[in-house]
Amino acid sequence: MTYSPLPPLTDSPEWDALREQAEHLRPRHMRDLFAEDPDRYPRYTLEAAGLLLDYSKNRITDSSLAALMALARSRRLEERIGALFKGERVNTTENRPALHAALRTPESEAVTVEGQDVVPEVHHTLRRMETFVGQIHSGQWRGMNGHPFTDVVSIGIGGSFLGPQMVSEALRPYWHDQLRCHFVANIDGSDISDTLRHLDPETTLFLVQSKSFRTQETLANARAAREWFVENGGSQEQVSRHFVAVTSQQDEAERFGIARDNVFPMWDWVGGRYSLWSAIGLPIALAVGMDNFRSLLAGAHAMDEHFRTAPLERNIPVIMGLLGLWYSHFFDAHSHAVLPYDHFLKSLPAHLQQLDMESNGKQVRINGTPVDYPTGPVIWGGAGANGQHAYHQLLHQGTRLVPVDFIMPLHSHNPLGDHHRLLFANCLSQSQALMRGKIDEEAFEEMRAEGMPEEKARELAPHKAIPGNKPSNTLLLDRVDPKGLGALIALYEHKVFVQGALWDIDSFDQWGVELGKQLGKTIEKRLEADGGQGEPREDSSTTGLIQLFRERGQG
Ligand code: F6P
């Protein structure tokens, strides 16, 4: 990328203007902002790619939004968005483009990387996936002894697991009748053992998913799967019928014993956490069929188009990215909660955790100098309404400000009785409660109306009071279908990109995870029965724990 350094973030007229805006807004309550402006909802609502964002329950006004937009322009955000889509090397430390958007680009369009259009090979791979999925579904490709497959076990970790697992789960109502999908990620032997315990090797297909084909957890689980297969009646020749790989390292997959024809490609220009749109999405395609997988891509593409072309002021990922920065810098927010009010979206927070925290958990700018401001927040969350009976207490009365994204479909796949109306009411009541709160006096009056003696009511009122003024976004989609889900995930990918661009960090590398892997190799050796020979090289804590494992643990 022709990267020209950005000026310091916090030393600029745009930053000073934002600081002033924040000072002005800090003492103001959102209750009053709503009371003063009956059009707040329509004014702070946007629709694109089948999603609706209501961002009216945020601590913002037109002038603070204008100041945020001015900051975005001073960070040359539009130029950075253009560079992303043009396939420039936005991943500067690895000197690569980040072209996940190309994976969902229609065949009629081109995305050129160093003079070469990558769209044809993307669609060639999609067609290969289509053929493969068709063969498995129709029973044309069968397991040993001629039985059709009933179970698929996807083995992978990080981006080669979280995205496919979350999407497959989210699209549960679209699953093929005869095929069940399972995911194994953890190096903990219980993960794979527990999965295989219930499966029949004759009818089980394994997908080994690893961009690098070097990841310890994935290789160990893939070897365990192969051993289980062979020990339970499979032969080495039959491995080629039961094992398929997705990787950018075809030779490594072949060395493992997977036939070249069974290897689907990955490309350098796709980051792991952005890879569910590639052949890494094969478990999704097997679970829900290729038409639905293509709809997922279409939904993401619609969001790409919105992000690429909408003016910053009407751009959903840009607005969500700027709001995150606003709270993290000016309201001391350290974390961000994602609360999907949909049972099938319960793993979305885990996927977004990797997407956001692996992308923006960075401490230096693109030019290598340390940042002097906070970068990516801690992302957490879980399915509503379950959280209401757990961590929502902290959201309402805790001392930390946690901005929230509520995600809610208008239609349920299981419209049981009045469940969906109740769920919707729960979602809205949470965002309303966070926004408006309940002052002491209201709490007091309520208790008095219930007949509580005045003294007791006075005593309890501060405990029952809820400050409110807690910000949230509400994202609505028609239903959790492939298209809407594709748009939703792409929205978050772009939000993360926006924030990385504002902070001037490389959102596409992940060097921080390497040290643990490096040290792990040495420690693993030292845990072996004779690994403690010679002088201990570690700190006393690590040595002590190694020793303890060797004496009392199971090596
Ligand atoms: O260790 C982090 C990471 O590199 C992720 O970024 C990636 O998604 C995951 O490991 C799995 O990597 P691979 O697909 O190469 O096995």
Q: Fill in the DSSP letter of residue 233.
A: T
Q: Fold match between 13-75+310-436+471-509 and 103-294?
A: yes
What number of residues does the chain have?
555
Centroid of ligand 1 to alpha carbon of 305 (angstroms):
28
Residue 472, SS3? strand
Angle (CA) 421 422 428, round 5° = 90
Note the pLDDT of residue 496: 98
What percentage of the chain exceeds 70 in pLDDT? 98
Known catalytic residues? 358, 389, 517
Select 13-75+310-436+471-509's CATH number: 3.40.50.10490, 1.10.3720.10, 3.40.50.1220, 3.90.480.20. 3.40.50.10490
Q: Cα separation of 18 and 10, whole Å?
A: 10
Site to substitute for ligand 1 among 161, 211, 359, most atoms within 8 A of C-beta = 211
Pocket probe for ligand 1: among 91, 93, 157, the residue whose CB has the most ligand atoms within 8 Å is: 157
What is residue 334's predicted lDDT score, i.e. its pLDDT?
A: 98
What average pLDDT score do residues 507-530 get? 92
Q: Whose CA is nearest to atom 16 of ligand 1?
A: 210
Q: How far is the CA of 160 from the centre of ligand 1 (A)?
A: 7
Q: Can you give the pLDDT at residue 538?
A: 87
Measure the CA–CA gap between 491 and 496, rounded to whole angstroms.
9
Q: How confident is the model at residue 113 (pLDDT cuts 50, 70, 90)?
A: confident
Average pLDDT, the chain: 96
DSSP class of 212 = S
Q: What is the pLDDT of residue 531?
A: 67
CATH code for the part of the protein at 103-294: 3.40.50.10490
Report the alpha-carbon distance of residue 73 to residue 456 in Å, rounded: 55
Provide mean pLDDT across the span 355-379: 97
Write out pLDDT tens, residues 369-415: 999 999 999 999 999 999 999 999 999 999 999 999 999 999 999 99
pLDDT at residue 534, as a whole number = 62
Average pLDDT of the residues in 450-475: 97
In this prediction, residue 541 carries a pLDDT of 95
> What's the 342 CA to ligand 1 centre distance in angstroms?
28
For ligand 1, pick from 215, 268, 273, 521 the residue to mutate: most ligand atoms within 8 Å of CB.
215
* 3-class state of residue 535 by DSSP: coil
Ligand 1 nearest atom to the CA of residue 157, by list position: 11
pLDDT reading at 423 higher than 90:
yes
Averaged pLDDT, 162-174: 98
Q: How far is the CA of 130 from the centre of ligand 1 (A)?
A: 25
Distance (Å, whole) CA 335 – CA 547: 37
Residues with CB under 6 A from ligand 1: 157-160, 210-212, 215, 218, 272-273, 358, 510, 513
pLDDT for res 2: 54
Q: What mean pLDDT comes out for the span 333-337?
A: 98
- Name the DSSP class of 149: P
Q: Closest ligand 1 atom to the C-alpha of 514?
A: 1
Q: How confident is the model at residue 554 (pLDDT cuts 50, 70, 90)?
A: confident
**Helix, strand, coil percentages for the chain (3-state, nearest 5):** 55, 10, 35
3-state secondary structure of 226: helix
Please check the confidence at residue 97 and state whether its pLDDT lies above 70: yes
What is the average per-residue pLDDT within 509-528?
93
> Residue 257: CB partners within 8 Å, gap ≥ 6?
226, 236, 239, 240, 243
pTM above 0.90, yes or no: yes
> Residue 229: pLDDT above 70?
yes
Q: Which amino acid is at 49?
A: A
Cα of 184 vs centre of ligand 1, distance in Å, is 14
Cα 357 to the center of its chain, rounded Å: 9
Ligand 1 atom at minimum distance from 510 CA: 6
What is the side-by-side order of every strand in the sheet holding 180-184? 180-184, 151-155, 204-209, 243-247, 263-265
What ranges do the domains of the chain cover?
A: 13-75+310-436+471-509, 103-294, 512-554
pLDDT confidence band for 236 (50 / 70 / 90): confident
CB 369 within 8 A of CB 327: no
Secondary structure (3-state) at 187: coil
Predicted confidence at residue 536, as pLDDT, reads 67
Give pLDDT tens digits for 252-261: 999 999 999 9
Residue (of 136, 229, 125) closest to 180 by Cα position: 136
Determine the distance from the C-alpha atom of residue 255 to the mean position of all C-alpha atoms in its chain, rounded to a whole number.
32
CA-CA-CA-CA dihedral for 531, 533, 539, 543, to nearest 10: 60
More confident: 236 or 506: 506
- CA-based nearest residue to 358, from 280, 272, 270, 246: 272
- 3-class DSSP state of 376: coil
